[in-house]
Structure 1
Amino acid sequence: MVLPLIKISALACLVIHNEDNSALLSDEEIEDNAVIIMIGGYDTSSILLTFLIRLLANEPSIYAAIVQEKEEIAKARPWGASHMDDLNKMKYTWRVAMETLRITPHGFCSFRRVLKDIEFGGCPIPKRWQVVWAASMTHMDETIFPNPSKIDPTRFEQQAPVTCCLVAFRRPRMCPRYEFARIETLALLGDLVHM
């Protein structure tokens, strides 16, 4: 199983040192970041995997494409290569995960503070007001995602502009847990389709 490697990789990134061998982060900062990574992913990854399993059960062609991708990666694996290398090659599988996040976002809504006076839909919104946005409203917007009710992992073959509108990980700043969630999801999904 790849999960022990994931934990080691995440921790290795936190304990990186400068060229003069001084730590970039203090022990307390490393501990805080490790806890945030683990707690932050508790619900989000399990929700994503739940909806992915449902999607694969309902979409046999997508399931078959994931199995085929996994088999091709395994056949092409050089002797001694790590399973982490395999995860980086699971491009289609991650597109399916992104499409699952688009259709069933794990966060219903979020609040943001308005940075400057704006007008939206003819309504003035003053600076410093709190606004709420719903991810599903963006994810199902036909001007951003054509035919939004259709399950189409190929939407995510191009990185821009569509992925900037996927609220799951990309907001004004990238989610710090993005890479961990990607590896965790691909590792578990890879094990599930292998069974």
Structure 2
Amino acid sequence: MKSCLVALLFVFTGMAHATVIPFGVENDYSKTQTLSDGWSIVYQGGYGTSFDLNSLISGLDSNVSVALAGATSDGAINFDVFSATTAGILNTITGKNATIFDNGAFWYHNDFSVGFSDVSTITQGQADTFNSSNRAALSWHTISGDNNTTGVGGWRSGSNTGLNSNNTFQRYVLIGTPVEVPEPTSLVLLGLSLVGLSFARKNKAK
């Protein structure tokens, strides 16, 4: 019976492992720790380089975790600013200067820009210029007329602004590693099977 309980412990411990999702907006967030926590970098490029954000997130299940981040350079050990949401939230087109609150941050994605802030107020001339000294914000330009899904240049990584042509600063898109969790019925059947196996071995030993 003891070996059965140990086996069950290992089963449930393995099933509990998933991507660590930080709450809110993080500054100086370790890149190494982020990868150890189950995140995968699906895009990295300079703030002055365009890329197709839509191709990375449009086909994802709405519950998949997605993070946007900025860093001062490719070699920086920390993300300058980092926040996570779901693909469903990030794929939602918002009105100008409007945000959606999720996981402790305010998110937006429209004809002007895509990004997040720790406060609900944003000012979109194009990118979010509200309180440029605030480190807990990220804003990337988008292309109008294409469902606002293609990043065409950075602008903001925390309090670092005006990064449209800066390719030292880096932009990142990360996706949380999906973890398949068995249905409760499957867990019960697995547990009963292990218990039965334990009793069978005990009776055989007699």
User: What is the TM-score normalised by the length of structure 1?
Assistant: 0.20
User: What is the TM-score normalised by the length of structure 2?
Assistant: 0.19
Higher RCO structure, 1 or 2 (CA under 8 Å, sep 6+): 2
Compare the two structures and name the one with the higher helix fraction: 1
Compare the two structures and name the one with the higher strand fraction: 2
Whichever of the two has the greater Rg, that structure is 2
